[in-house]
Structure 1
Amino acid sequence: MHTDQPQDIAPDALPQVITRYLDAHRAHDTATALGAFHPDATVTDEGKTHRGAPAIETWLTRAAGEYTYTIELTGAEKVDTDHYVATHHLEGNFPGGVVDLHYRFTLSDGLIEDLVIAP
């Protein structure tokens, strides 16, 4: 049965590649985080798209050092076998200080093909 409605899932039910990326990103482990992406993947964050491993590596490095913040995984949804959403609550020294962000993942061949981060 195919539905277009996302299903709430337990955060620990997210695919392993997403969990590996999220854990590595939180730990500022750029190499492990980067390894979760296709070489030609795209990441869209703050309205800017970063395409390919070199651009994503630069984004990961910059994102890790720009602000100090806490991040908590507060929810997860499965849209279909290749699309997942992880919701994070962030608090820190960035403009506004508090935000809930949706990390929208598209998977392909067991790796992250596309990630869009937006409120």
Structure 2
Amino acid sequence: MTPELPKPIAEFVAANAHLNVDAMLKPFAADAVAHDMGKSHRGHAELRTWFEEEVIAVKAIFTPDTAREEDGRVVVEGPAHGDFKGSPIRFTYRFALEGDAIKSMEITA
């Protein structure tokens, strides 16, 4: 069962389920930053490239199964499956929101 998520995170998860890059970008602030595997991606242009190369290319779909608030962030956990080694892998996403937008996202396995 998918947990109840704040609107921008729910929009991101839904867009990811369809591997739709434009819709995945929509809930992010223009200056948003994502941290994944020791790398940072800032702004829509860098996020788009990262999504295309690291998510769409391997059909990585994240399916959250838990969500909680922790230290002012929304922490969402669940498996991601796709065409990558070790699939599925359980990930933790930590989101910082600003208004109705995702300001930052940190992903750890």
Pick the TM interval, shorter chain: 0.7 to 0.9
Equivalenced residue count is 108
Rounded Cα–Cα distance in structure 2 between residues aligned with 1:114 and 1:23: 18
2: CA distance, partners of 1:33 / 1:90: 15
C-alpha displacement at 1:36, in angstroms?
A: 0.4
Report the Cα offset of residue 44 of structure 1: 0.9
Instruction: Tell me which stretches of 4 or more aligned residues in structure 1 moved more than 3 Å.
Output: 68-71
Question: What is the correspondence of 1:1-119 to structure 2 with a 5 Å cutoff?
Answer: 11-12=3-4, 14-69=5-60, 71-79=62-70, 82-119=72-109
Q: Over residues 15-71 of structure 1, what are the superposed CA-to-partner deviations in whole Å (9 max), with x where a residue is unaligned?
A: 111100111022111111111001010011122100111000111112233324554
SS in 2 for 1:96: coil
Which blocks of at least 5 consecutive residues in structure 1 are unaligned? 1-9
Letter in structure 1 aligned against 2:87: G
Q: 1:11 offset after TM fit, Å?
A: 1.1
The whole-number CA distance in structure 1 between the counterparts of 2:52 and 2:89 is: 21
Structure with max Cα Rg: 1
Q: Which amino acid aligns with 1:42?
A: V
TM-score normalised by structure 1 residue count? 0.79
* Matching residue's letter, 1:87: E
Q: Contact 1:25–1:60 (CA<8 Å) still a contact in 2?
A: no
Higher strand share: 1
State the identity as a percent.
27
Q: Distance in 1 between matches of 2:61 and 2:32?
A: 26
